[in-house]
């Protein structure tokens, strides 16, 4: 279900749930009001999922290495957690069949001098440093797309008609329900029926979080769709 494009879509489904009472023109919902409500609901559902240990936005990016360079700029949609960093030590572009080295994580540091100490014969670690990540010791070769970073990406707020939320299709109807509840209650309209429907769908959402955890290697093959881990915590249903 996309933002506006195709049938059904998020805007159309939200309007269906919210209704547009013709006898009360003052309570009609403008296009921007509907879109804003959808993004707010999306943000709330995304945040709830994150709090329960679920991540639907595993992203990866290829970055060019520079010989003797320690720091590299993080991807624009990086959201605070690196899952892995791979390096092709000969500067070759990372692709199927090309050997890579998985670097080990190291605690964040405010001083780069500490990383220049010791006898590093090859790149062994990665670390976060402000808006960058570092590799130590630095790569010995330069090469296009020879570093791959896999990370938790941030939410993609919807703007263009063809935009698609990162939440799995099976849960996108919840976005529309929550948006419709907000729209109706913002106009002092009853939303009891919508709240009941949303409450019915939440246990299904919770159940999906209790599925077996996939190995990290398997998860990386489903970038952007596979949760990193699951939680049996409840309370999410209390959102409505």
pLDDT greater than 70 at residue 237: no
What Rg, from alpha-carbon coordinates, does the chain have?
Answer: 22
pLDDT greater than 50 at residue 79: yes
* Edge-first strand listing for the sheet containing 101-102: 58-65, 143-153, 78-87, 101-102
Mean pLDDT, residues 121-149 taken together: 88
Mean pLDDT, residues 135-148 taken together: 92
DSSP 67-125: TT--EEEPPTTEEEEEEEEEE-TT-PPP-TT---EEPEE----S-SGGGGSS--SS--E
pLDDT greater than 80 at residue 51: no
**pTM of the predicted structure, to 2 decimals:** 0.68
Q: Which residues contact 2 (CB under 8 A, 6 or more apart)?
A: 9, 10, 161, 162, 163, 164
Q: Which residues contact 142 (CB under 8 A, 6 or more apart)?
A: 64, 65, 66, 67, 91
Mean pLDDT of all residues in the chain?
79
Determine what percent of the chain is predicted with pLDDT higher than 90: 44
DSSP H or E segment with residue 208: helix 192-208
pLDDT band of residue 219 (cuts 50, 70, 90) is very low
Q: What is the pLDDT of residue 20?
A: 66
User: Which of 49-63, 149-163, 209-223 ranks highest by mean pLDDT?
Assistant: 149-163
pLDDT per residue as tens digits for the range 81-100: 899 999 998 999 999 888 89
Q: How far apart are CA 218 and CA 17, in angstroms?
A: 37
Q: 69 vs 218, which has greater pLDDT?
A: 69
Closest C-alpha to 87, from 112, 119, 62, 69: 62
pLDDT greater than 70 at residue 235: no
Q: What is the pLDDT of residue 122?
A: 57
């Amino acid at each position: 279900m996309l933002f506006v494009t195709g049938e059904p879509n998020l805007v159309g489904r939200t309007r269906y749930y919210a209704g547009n009472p013709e006898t009360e023109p003052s309570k009609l919902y403008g296009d921007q009001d509907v879109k804003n409500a959808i993004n707010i609901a999306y943000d709330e559902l995304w945040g709830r999922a994150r709090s329960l240990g679920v991540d639907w936005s595993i992203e990866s990016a290829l970055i060019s290495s520079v010989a003797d360079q320690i720091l590299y700029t993080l991807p624009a949609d990086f959201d605070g957690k690196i899952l892995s960093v791979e390096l092709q030590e000969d500067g070759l572009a990372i692709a199927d069949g090309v050997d890579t080295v998985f670097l080990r994580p190291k605690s964040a540091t405010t001083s780069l001098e500490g990383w220049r100490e010791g006898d590093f014969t090859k790149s062994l670690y990665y670390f976060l440093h402000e808006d960058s990540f570092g590799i130590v010791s630095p790569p010995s070769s330069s090469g296009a797309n020879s570093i791959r970073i896999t990370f938790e990406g941030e939410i993609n707020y919807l703007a263009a008609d063809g935009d698609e939320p990162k939440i799995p299709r099976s849960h996108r109807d919840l976005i529309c329900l929550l948006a419709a509840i907000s729209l109706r209650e913002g106009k002092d309209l009853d939303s009891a029926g919508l709240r009941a429907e949303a409450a019915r769908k939440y246990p299904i959402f919770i159940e999906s979080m209790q599925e077996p955890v996939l190995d990290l290697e398997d998860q990386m093959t489903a970038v952007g769709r596979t949760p990193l881990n699951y939680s049996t915590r409840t309370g999410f249903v209390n959102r409505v």
